[in-house]
Amino acid sequence: MVKDLLAALAVVVNGIPQGLLALMYGFAALPTALAFLAGVGGSLYFNSVATISFQAETIALAGNLGKDIRERLSMVFWGAVFLLVPSLLGLNEAIVSWIGPAVVDSMMAGVGLMLANVSVDMLKSEKYSGSLSVAVALAVWFWTRDLAWTIIVSVTAATLLYNYLLRVRRMELDRLSADVGNEKFRFGNIEWRFWRSRRVFSGALAMACINIGANISFGKITGSIAQVNANVDHLAIYSSAADIVSTLFGGSPVESIISGTATAPHPVLSSVMMMGIMAALLIFRLLPTIGRYVHRSSIAGFLLVLGVFVTFINNAALAISAVPPEALNGFGFAPWGMVVGATIFASARWNPFVGLVAGTAIRMIFHL
């Protein structure tokens, strides 16, 4: 039981900076507790080891695609609805098999580049703490290659510098963006006629696509660590339900993560503990309290490392390894090279749905 709790607490600590990122895009923490409670229910009902939590890729994608909080909530809500339908029919893995691992992994690689671009914007929002965040994150990552330590040390260092410059040196800096007054349940700030907004419709498709990729990759990895077969459709059902109930009241998106709870003696129990603890933190409004002292620039270094060294390069390698070996000669000029390159570029430049369409279209053109 103690080891289960310690593993859960480690994942909670890892999720807090990403929760702060959600606050900075205008999502409320309090209603996001509903998402974690839905995760608890889903994990218990399906006896699933797969954990859902704040995930920077999804939050940053929604934050970038939506111009205001209503659009962001609408994209996440409808994306979850779109994903829930095939999940209930047990079609997720069939869809991914039809698209092909090379295209799905290329899409995730493109999301990594998008995250890196977001990190640059965050650095620019407050150059002193942002620069320190990037420098410390790179140093810790190169030394440890441990993402959890990279998050904790870089965010802590940047936050200490920011508060020192602001409160002790009295420098004129960009003010903190977490709004404690936003912490309430606001029902239905959703664009119900999503088909009337091109931005919301395309954004919802993008959210569904990135969650398909995350459920397949992160869910399967967590299952393999726990030495069980994670059912992707079950995971997609409760992760989609979590997004629906959260955004319906103004909360943040959550998604499948690679969770350290899978290493615990009782991985399902540890996962439930983690999501329950996070729900309690949100209910007692502790995350927004932390957000009053942590500037968004403090997350710049973590996002850069996550985007470039984890999400982009790992998924790019997986995408290339998924193509036939004979296609690797003159890869850039070969059809498979076009598939991978176009999917990564389109996903990073526009959104994951455009990336999947581009990659799938080229596959069909060349009958791959």
- pLDDT of the residue at 248: 95
Task: Give me the mean pLDDT over the 219-238 stretch.
Answer: 83
42-98 confidence digits (pLDDT tens):
999 999 998 999 988 889 889 988 999 999 999 999 999 999 999 999 888 788 888
The CA distance from 145 to 153, in Å, is 13
Helix axis angle, 101-125 to 313-321, nearest 10°: 170
Which DSSP symbol is given to 331?
A: G
Residue 158 has which token pair?
Answer: 């940047």
pLDDT greater than 70 at residue 175: no
pLDDT greater than 60 at residue 177: no
Highest averaged pLDDT of the listed ranges 101-110, 245-254, 282-291: 245-254
Q: Which residues contact 88 (CB under 8 A, 6 or more apart)?
A: 233, 237
**Strand partners of residue 256:** 52
With 0-12 / 13-18 / 19 or more C-beta atoms within 10 angstroms meaning exposed / middle / buried, residue 310 is: middle
- pLDDT of the residue at 27: 93
SS3 347: helix
**Sign of the four-CA dihedral 273, 27, 134, 107:** positive
Query: C-alpha angle 286/292/293, rounded to 5°?
Result: 105
pLDDT greater than 70 at residue 176: no
pTM: 0.85
The CA distance from 72 to 26, in Å, is 9
User: pLDDT band at 308, cuts 50/70/90?
Assistant: very high
- pLDDT of the residue at 111: 87
Percentage above 90 pLDDT, the chain: 43
pLDDT, mean over the chain: 88
Residue 111 has which token pair?
Answer: 């999301």
The CA distance from 362 to 348, in Å, is 17
